[in-house]
């Protein structure tokens, strides 16, 4: 596929920053297209969301493998917490900034005017889309090698844990106390492709523990888990401490 000159320059710049040469330049070109840009041109489906979906899974697997290889003595719960801290939206946005992804993105006018190039949700999604492009272009070994370079400093010294780790913390708590994991239910998905809003509920044994809304489904799940943790600590702290049933 022959790309226009401006796209060729963007792909070349991205490849240089990643130290990776794309054999299929149409893949990184697609990874740079935000849904707002595609929608304005009447090509709503020609955006980076499918690559983001793929890249999300590749990042999770690669980071899990990197942590597993880094410390053979690390227990499962610690591995989960460390991975959650490394793959959360804010940290992926930071990595996107480190490779200068923001200026290369194709954004619609509205997103451009509202500072979309600095929005963590857009940057994190684009980062995952780029990883998805590398995976399709060079296979998992190429993606793993790239992520190994990008995550190496953080595997040894992870970012601080916080709300971003709420899903892992909630699952660990409920598994430990009650031997079961929570479920996440997508309650609604609204808005145009370039401004989607997801509403998610976290449910345990038929009870809604928390709800969250965000521009990305994963972030909505994390917010729901954070609300659930806050509610359990406030209302059921003594019960949790004793290991009693919540209901």
Domain ranges in the chain? Answer: 5-156, 163-242
User: 244 an active-site residue?
Assistant: no
E-strand stretches of the chain: 183-190, 197-204, 207-214
At residue 132, does pLDDT exceed 70?
yes
Instruction: Give residue 234's pLDDT.
Output: 65
For domain 5-156, say whether CATH 3.40.50.300 is its number. no
CATH code of the domain occupying 163-242? 3.30.160.20
Confidence band for 90, pLDDT divided at 50, 70 and 90: confident
Residues of the chain above pLDDT 70, percent: 87
List 49, 52, 56, 111, catalytic entry: 56
b (16+ CB within 10 A) / e for 95-104: bbeebebbeb
List the single range of 45-49, 64-68, 153-157 with lowest mean pLDDT.
153-157
Look up the pTM and report it: 0.71
Bigger pLDDT: 168 or 59?
59
- The helix/strand/coil state of 107 is coil
User: 128 an active-site residue?
Assistant: yes
Instruction: Give residue 245's pLDDT.
Output: 46
Instruction: Give residue 179's pLDDT.
Output: 80
DSSP for residue 243 = T
List 49, 128, 137, 219, catalytic entry: 128
Domain pair 5-156 / 163-242, same fold: no
């Amino acid at each position: 596929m022959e790309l226009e000159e401006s796209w060729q320059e963007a792909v070349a710049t991205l490849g240089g920053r990643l130290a990776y040469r794309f054999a299929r330049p149409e893949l990184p070109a697609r990874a740079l297209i935000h849904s707002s840009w595609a929608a304005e041109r009447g090509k709503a489906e020609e955006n980076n969301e499918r690559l983001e979906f793929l890249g999300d899974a590749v990042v999770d697997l690669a980071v899990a493998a990197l942590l597993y290889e880094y410390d053979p003595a690390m227990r499962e719960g610690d591995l989960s917490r460390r991975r959650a801290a490394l793959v959360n939206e804010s940290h992926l946005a930071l990595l996107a900034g480190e490779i200068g992804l923001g200026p290369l993105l194709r954004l619609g006018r509205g997103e451009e005017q509202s500072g979309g190039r600095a929005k963590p949700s857009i940057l994190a999604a684009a980062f995952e889309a780029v990883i998805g492009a590398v995976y399709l272009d060079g296979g998992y070994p190429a993606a793993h090698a790239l992520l190994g370079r990008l995550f190496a400093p953080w595997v040894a010294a992870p970012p601080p844990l916080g709300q971003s780790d709420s899903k892992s913390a909630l699952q660990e708590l409920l598994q430990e106390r009650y031997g079961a994991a929570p479920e996440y239910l997508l309650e609604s998905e609204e808005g145009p492709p370039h401004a989607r809003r997801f509403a998610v509920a976290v449910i345990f044994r038929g009870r809604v523990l928390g709800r969250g809304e965000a521009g990305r489904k994963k972030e909505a799940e994390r917010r729901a888990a954070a609300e659930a943790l806050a509610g359990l600590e406030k209302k059921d702290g003594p019960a949790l401490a004793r290991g009693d049933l919540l209901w």
